[in-house]
Chain A
């Protein structure tokens, strides 16, 4: 059994389309159910964290850019660590991720055991 990092990417909401608190609440359920599903299969190592939209990128010579989405419209919105026997299995488990229903994607990467 190996650990895999799941990186969630999606387009950050712009000011015009900020979801309402009710919409935010409704969006939580699929995430909670998915985490519960992974945990029920004993495949969840860490629920990880969700990330805020705002951020800075620090570049050589202390050049700071506002947010990572200058070059790409997709930003990292969170991560989770799961366990699986193979990259194939980890990929299969990622298919249930709710971000896929919101136009985002999941990058699956094996964590190198130290």
Chain B
């Protein structure tokens, strides 16, 4: 790895470990101290390494420096005199015994515990995602603002408010008790799912950022699967979805960052290794009796890894969407179901069904109708594309609709 890439790389992989281990040690009430120490350590690394050259083991250097900072902090600050010292006196631990557990196990456990603390139902979902990006993925406020397509100070305030709430609720950095874990894991899963979608469906043209978001979501998901208590069928189903979707990463944009639609993609660019991983986790997910929406979505994503249009493929996808909608309605699932219906049962039936959806303020609804009418009634196709264009919000969507309109005018 080139030297100028080393610090960003280490920041991605080590920042969350430092914050998690320190956060675990200091407790949620002092989470900012953990964040500050981790950030200061990286700042110091960039200065020192630039001047004196790289240390033999950069990762070990980061740990040594941050732990020394943490110990200094514990000794000298108010935290020590007001809170920690009281506890230390109680348990009669001498000052030189201030230990910070740096075992691999504690580093892994702390991150998982931090994940549960952040994905806590007492804060809104967008705060959970924001905090996950900030603490667990090492994203800066600017990057988070870019991913959410919002202003820097909005994100800054959101994160600060969320941390205050977690403190006020006295949220512990720990794995929830066995009787709580099922519900709490659901919140974690939902957050990881949105984190991934934020990257995968992001309208930001920054493809590196999109990929990073997806990779981070997958890393956090893998952590759940590596732990016995959180390695549930749903966690496997979600990872399976992520693997199937990200297998098309290289195929779905051109070098300019323009979207290439699924049907126009080059199958040779699909990542076979990720597809195989997706199949592996889908098999792992099929243990147990509970069929979650994640299982159904994973199965739909599985069928999309088969490019060829076969009756079997689309009939399966249609029935999966029929089930998914019965579990949970969403406009996107309703539109996708109607597309599958067209492929499985024909356009005529799909047009009747599409007209019933009445999602008239959704640009994707008009895009779908435009597509269905294309071989039947070009006038209707054009009028729906015009409606879609008027409703579309982001540039990439508008460009695609305009292109389609131009090709029809010829």
Chain A: residues with CB nearer than 8 A to chain B? 29, 32-33, 35-37, 39-42, 44, 47
Contacts and interface: CB of A to CB of B under 8 A. Distances in A.
Q: Give the one of A29, A32, A40, A42 with max B CB within 10 A.
A: A40
B337 A36 contact: yes
A29 B318 CA distance: 10
Which 7 pairs between the two chains have the least Cβ-Cβ distance?
A36-B322, A39-B325, A40-B334, A42-B329, A39-B326, A32-B322, A40-B337
B410 interface: no
Nearest to A33: B322
Interface of B: 318-319, 321-323, 325-326, 329, 333-334, 337-338, 341, 345, 353, 356-358
Contacts, number: 45
Given A36-B323, A39-B334, A40-B353, 10 more contacts: A32-B322, A36-B337, A37-B353, A39-B322, A39-B325, A39-B329, A40-B334, A40-B337, A41-B357, A42-B329
A80 to B, nearest CB: 11
Given A33-B345, A37-B353, A44 B326 contact: yes
Contact of B341 (A33, A35, A42, A44): A33
A32 B344 CA distance: 13
Q: Give the one of A32, A36, A39, A44 with max B CB within 10 A.
A: A36
Given A33-B322, A47-B326, A40 B338 contact: yes
Contact of B326 (A33, A35, A41): A35
B264 to A, nearest CB: 26
Contacts of A35: 322, 326
19 contacts: A32-B319, A33-B318, A33-B322, A33-B341, A35-B326, A36-B318, A36-B319, A36-B321, A36-B322, A36-B325, A36-B326, A36-B341, A39-B334, A40-B329, A40-B333, A40-B337, A40-B338, A40-B357, A44-B325
